Amino acid sequence: MRTLTFVIGTGRSGSTALSRILNAHPDVLSLNEFMASVGDAAFPDGKVSGTEFWQSLFRPAPHFERMIRSGVPLPEFLYTRRPGRYAAETTGIPALSLMVLPHLTDDPDGLLDELGAAVVPWPERTAAEHHQALFGLLCARFGRSAVVERSGYSTGWAPGLRAAFPHARFVHMFRDGPDCALSMSRHPGYRTISLLREIKARAGIDSFADLTDDHVRSLPADLSPLLAERFDPALVLDRDMPLRTFGSLWSELVTDGTEFLRRLPDDQRTTLAYEDLLDRPAEELTRLAEFIGVDPLTQWLRTSAARLDHSRRGSARRLSAAEFDELRKSCAPGTRVLEERQAGAGEKGRGRP
C-alpha cells in the first residue's frame, strides 16, 4: 500500500537537506517544494478535467516569475541553475519544473512532457483524486512506494492537505528559533514574504485576491513596486529589516504547526527537530523511515549523515549580545510552545506530541 506523508514547518530548518536525504532512499518519492510550487491553484473546488488539472501544475507561479525577472531568484529554484526550454523572460517556467522535477531527474523537460501526455486525457474528478493519481504515476515511473512532500513555509497548507488527504501522515519539522529566524532574515524568499505580509497588513486584506488599485496607490513607495512584474532587487536585498520581524514569524509558524499536529491521531503525526537530526542522524532517520513506511536501510543511513551541515548550528549566538537578546525575545512565544509540547509528550517518547 502506498503511503503519503507531508513534512510541514517553517523552512530554513534543514528541510531541504531532508528532501535530498529522502530522495536518496530507493523506496521514497521525494516531492521537493511541490506545494510551494503549485499552491492552492492545484486544489480547486469540485471536479476538474485532466486538462484543467494539468494547467494548474503547468501554469507558472506569478510570484516566483516576478522574483526571477527582478534578479532575486531563490536558491531553491533548481531549474534556473540548469535551464532548459523554458525561461521566465519568454515562456515562463512551468510550476512543476521550477523545483519539483529537477529534484527527481536530470531531464525535467522530458519528464514534464511525459507527465503532460499522461495527465491531460484523465477524466473529470476531484483535485485530491487527480493528485493521488499523479503520485501513483510518479511512483510507478521511479519505482517508489512511499510519497513524501516537503515544502518550506508550509504550515498554512496543512489544514487543507488534511482535508484533501485524510489518511496522510504529517511530520512537523522545526529548528532552534533564533538560528532559524536569523537564516530567514538572510534569505530573499523570507525577506519577500515578510514584505508581502506587511503589504497585506497595511491594505487590511487577508488575500492578494482582494487587493485593489486603491490599495496599491496607498502603499509606500518602497513597497508598491514589489507588486509589479519587475522590481528593483535592492528593495528586497538591501532593505534594513529588524531581526525581531523574523523571530515573530518563526514563533507564529511553529505555533500553527504545533497546534495543527495536536489535533491529529497519534499514528498520523510526529515531529523532527533539526538539532536531533544533527545529533542522532541514524536514530532519527530510522524513526522517520518507519513512520513514513519504508525500511531504514543501513547504507542509506550511513550516507545520509554525510549530507547534514553542522556548521550553521548556533549561528545566532555569533550576533552581538543585544541583537541576540532581541531575537531570542521575539522567538520566546514559539519556544515556549515547543517546550510545552515536549513536556506534554511525557511517556509517549521523543518526537511524539
pLDDT, tens digit, 9 for 90 and up, residues 8-47: 999 999 999 999 999 999 999 999 999 999 999 999 999 9
pLDDT of residue 107: 97
The pLDDT of 312-336, averaged and rounded, is 97
Which residues, 6+ apart, have CB-to-CB distance to 146 below 8 Å?
2, 3, 4, 5, 27, 28, 29, 292, 293, 294
289-302, pLDDT tens digit by residue? 999 999 999 999 99
Which set of grid coordinates corresponds to residue 104?
A: 527527481
Kindly state the greatest CA–CA separation across the chain.
Answer: 60
pLDDT of residue 352: 40
Q: Is 48 exposed, middle or buried (0-12, 13-18, 19+ CB in 10 A)?
A: buried
Q: Is the pLDDT of residue 246 over 60?
A: yes
- Of the candidates 220, 180, 185, the one whose C-alpha atom is nearest the C-alpha of residue 201 is 220
Contact of 243 with 317, CB cutoff 8 Å: no
pLDDT of residue 344: 82
- Of the candidates 80, 78, 40, the one whose C-alpha atom is nearest the C-alpha of residue 57 is 40
pTM for the predicted model, two decimal places: 0.95
**Mean pLDDT (the chain, rounded):** 95
216-240, pLDDT tens digit by residue? 999 999 999 999 999 999 999 999 9
Which set of grid coordinates corresponds to residue 342?
A: 515536549
169-218, pLDDT tens digit by residue? 999 999 999 999 999 999 999 999 999 999 999 999 999 989 999 999 99
- Is the pLDDT higher at 240 or at 346? 240
Distance in angstroms (rounded) separating the CA atoms of residues 238 and 235: 6
pLDDT of residue 346: 54
pLDDT of residue 349: 41
